[in-house]
């Protein structure tokens, strides 16, 4: 979805399908909900908070830096920026924010989309990761029913926030940074994952779950064109992100329930799993190669011939994603995780030895009967 959205800057297709592809940025919403779900589903109490933070850092930062270095010569220039160009003037100070994933805390496009433009979402993810252990401490005691109420409260908050922005467009609410705005999507995924870990098994067929995402996007497009005068329905475009967030949640829990019931789905095919492993790397590099094509070949007028560009750039992005995953993401993450695991094991062993001989903070040893 995000690939289709970004390729419109280079090679759009003619007709209404362009409006469909223009909704592709909602793929980020799915990613945020899924991220909260997966991290909570896989969380284990024996993993310390510091280890959790290190593992998330090892997961995203090495690939991010490589993708950033690739993006800088594509999106920046040391010379004068031509009028109407997507190029930005080189600014080491602004780029440093991208290095440490802080650029998403500014709404100014020059900062928000600095470095690798797609990486603004990593600022959100870093914020989510920072809060995950602490939100988990609230979720864990709630069990199934409490987690579902928590999820409902998150959804209600999201709709109320959007309504408040509409009613008071001049208020400070519109200045809320994106990581805070998008937090409900991540927390919803967390709450639903904990509910399922606590035994909740919703009976939602995957066709309904996945289909709900299609319905929301379709309803948004139709309401923009045909239903603007119809009460209630005219507000669908305003709340599309919130509606799509709920649809993403339905899709995820329906597929998770099916998997837990021992039933396979199309998304468990080997090629799907492999593409899923490459998906983070794909996200990091896909826009860069689209803009490389834009710089080399220039904007392509809307035409069905642009489908060839779709396939060509999709192939290039997949190959680049495979390379980034295989030679950076996976090996570097493994090394960084092993380093932290060895430190944790050494610390545990030291603590165990000290406890066995009775070492106090002053270093005195006292015999201890165990």
Each residue of 291-304: pLDDT tens digit?
999 999 999 999 99
Q: What is the mean pLDDT of the chain?
A: 92
139 falls within a domain: yes
**Local confidence band at 225 (pLDDT 50, 70, 90 cut-offs):** confident
347 falls within a domain: no
223 falls within a domain: no
Of the given ranges (192-201, 236-245, 287-296, 356-365), which has the lowest mean pLDDT? 356-365
166 falls within a domain: yes
| Number of domain units in the chain | 1
Each residue's pLDDT tens digit, 55-94: 999 999 999 999 999 999 999 999 999 888 999 999 999 9
Is pLDDT at 222 greater than 90 in this prediction? Answer: no
326 falls within a domain: no
Spatial distance between the Cα atoms of 147 and 138, rounded to a whole number of angstroms: 9
**pLDDT on residue 229:** 63
3 falls within a domain: no
**pLDDT on residue 367:** 39
pTM of the full structure: 0.92
Spatial distance between the Cα atoms of 325 and 327, rounded to a whole number of angstroms: 6
Q: The domain containing residue 189 runs over which residues?
A: 15-200
**pLDDT on residue 348:** 82
Average pLDDT of the segment spanning 126-151: 95
Spatial distance between the Cα atoms of 260 and 35, rounded to a whole number of angstroms: 19
**pLDDT on residue 286:** 98
Around 218, how many Cα atoms within 13 Å sit in the side-chain half-sphere? 6
Average pLDDT of the segment spanning 122-142: 96
Percent of residues, the chain, with pLDDT higher than 70 = 93
**Local confidence band at 364 (pLDDT 50, 70, 90 cut-offs):** very low
302 falls within a domain: no
19 falls within a domain: yes
Is pLDDT at 122 greater than 60 in this prediction? Answer: yes
Nearest to 291 by CA among 92, 100, 115, 104: 115
Is pLDDT at 370 greater than 70 in this prediction? Answer: no
Q: Is 183 within 8 Å of 240 (Cβ atoms)?
A: no
Residue 251 dihedral angles phi and psi, to the nearest 5°: -65, -45
């Amino acid at each position: 979805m995000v690939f289709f959205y970004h390729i419109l800057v280079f090679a759009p297709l003619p007709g209404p399908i362009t409006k469909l592809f223009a909704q592709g940025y909602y793929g980020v919403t799915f990613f945020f909900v899924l991220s909260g779900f997966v991290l909570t589903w896989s969380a284990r109490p024996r993993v310390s908070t510091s280890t959790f933070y290190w593992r998330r850092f090892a997961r995203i930062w090495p690939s991010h830096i490589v993708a950033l270095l690739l993006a800088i010569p594509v999106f920046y220039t040391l010379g004068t920026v031509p009028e109407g160009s997507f190029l930005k003037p080189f600014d080491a100070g602004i780029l440093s924010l991208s290095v440490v994933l802080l650029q998403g805390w500014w709404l100014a496009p020059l900062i928000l989309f600095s470095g690798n433009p797609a990486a603004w979402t990593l600022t959100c993810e870093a914020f989510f990761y920072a809060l995950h252990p602490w939100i988990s401490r609230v979720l864990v005691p709630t069990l199934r029913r409490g987690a579902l109420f928590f999820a409902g409260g998150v959804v209600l908050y999201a709709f109320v926030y959007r309504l408040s922005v509409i009613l008071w467009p001049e208020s400070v609410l519109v200045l809320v940074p994106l990581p805070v705005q998008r937090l409900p999507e991540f927390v919803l995924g967390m709450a639903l994952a904990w509910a399922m870990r606590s035994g909740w098994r919703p009976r939602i067929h995957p066709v309904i779950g996945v289909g709900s995402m299609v319905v929301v996007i379709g309803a948004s497009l139709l309401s923009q064109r045909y239903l603007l005068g119809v009460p209630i329905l005219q507000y669908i475009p305003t709340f599309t992100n919130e509606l799509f967030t709920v649809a993403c949640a339905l899709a995820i829990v329906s597929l998770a329930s099916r998997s837990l019931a021992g039933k396979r789905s199309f998304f468990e095919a080997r090629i799907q799993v492999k593409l899923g492993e490459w998906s983070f790397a794909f996200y990091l590099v896909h826009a860069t190669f689209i803009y490389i094509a834009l710089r080399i070949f220039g904007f392509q007028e809307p035409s069905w011939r642009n489908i060839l560009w779709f396939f060509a750039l999709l192939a290039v992005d997949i190959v680049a994603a495979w390379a980034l995953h295989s030679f950076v993401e996976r090996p570097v993450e493994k090394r960084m995780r092993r380093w932290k695991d060895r430190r944790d094991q050494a610390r545990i062993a030291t603590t165990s030895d000290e406890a066995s001989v009775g070492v106090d903070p002053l270093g005195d040893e006292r015999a201890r009967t165990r």
